[in-house]
Amino acid sequence: MALIALLAEAAPVMLRGAGYTLLFALASMVGGLALGVPVALMRIAPLAVLRWPATLYVSLMRGTPLLVQIFVIYYGLPGIGIEFTPVTAGVLALSLNSGAYLSESLRGAIVSVNQGQWRAGFSLGLGYGQTLAHIVLPQALRVAVPSMSNTLISLIKDTSLVSVITMTELMLATKEVIATTFQPLPLYLAAACIYWMLSLGFEQLQRLAERRLNRAHGSR
């Protein structure tokens, strides 16, 4: 009974934090996709002047810890006059990080498309951009959806790191409840269950997207 009372008392605060977690994750997903798609296209571009900046960005984001990136954006940039609110810094860091991984998933999928598809597009009189948009990308997306979805789902868990810059989300809300109740184990387990439920919801969306893309491909 004591455990039920504890969870009932903590639920409003933790669920509010979970709502913020979901909003931050969705905002970061949009930001990550907005960065990942053009970076992937730059990585496969014929011009080296486009490939090198994209390659450097991907290497930097994948080669450094997300926590360090958050610290650099929120605590480091003010040293040169660039300041962000905790929310903006958190979403920016998550977007930059996920954008690099999403770009690699999409790039790998594009490269996996048979070169004959490119030649077929060129033989029809299509240019590079038209062949990419109308022939290659639709096939690549079907391949890339599982790995891209995994990156987006991981954002749900990665939002816990932004609690270090006092951004209100599920983990910080849980810590605040623990500070008043002194019951860390059940509350951390409850937070883990909430993260799990959120991830399961996005996994279901991933399966729906895969089925839709497979049906669209099969109907052609």
List pLDDT tens digits, range 163-216. 888 777 899 899 999 998 889 999 999 999 999 999 998 888 888 877 887 776
**Contact 105/151 with Cβ under 8 angstroms?**
yes
- Interhelix angle 170-181/184-218, rounded to 10 degrees, is 160
CA distance 28 to 92: 7
CA distance 141 to 124: 22
Residue percentage of the chain with pLDDT more than 90: 46
**For residues 95 and 79, what is the distance between their CA atoms, to the nearest angstrom?**
22
Closest CA to 168 of 19, 26, 52: 19
| pLDDT higher than 80, residue 122 | yes
Strands (E), 71-134: none
Average pLDDT for 74-88: 93
Buried b (16+ CB within 10 A) or exposed e, 77-115: eeeeeeebebbebbbbbbbbbbbbbbbbbbbebbeebee
Cβ distance 20 to 28 under 8 Å?
no
Q: What pLDDT shows up at residue 209? A: 79
Rounded to two decimals, the pTM is 0.87
Close Cβ partners of 71 (under 8 Å, ≥ 6 residues apart): 164, 165
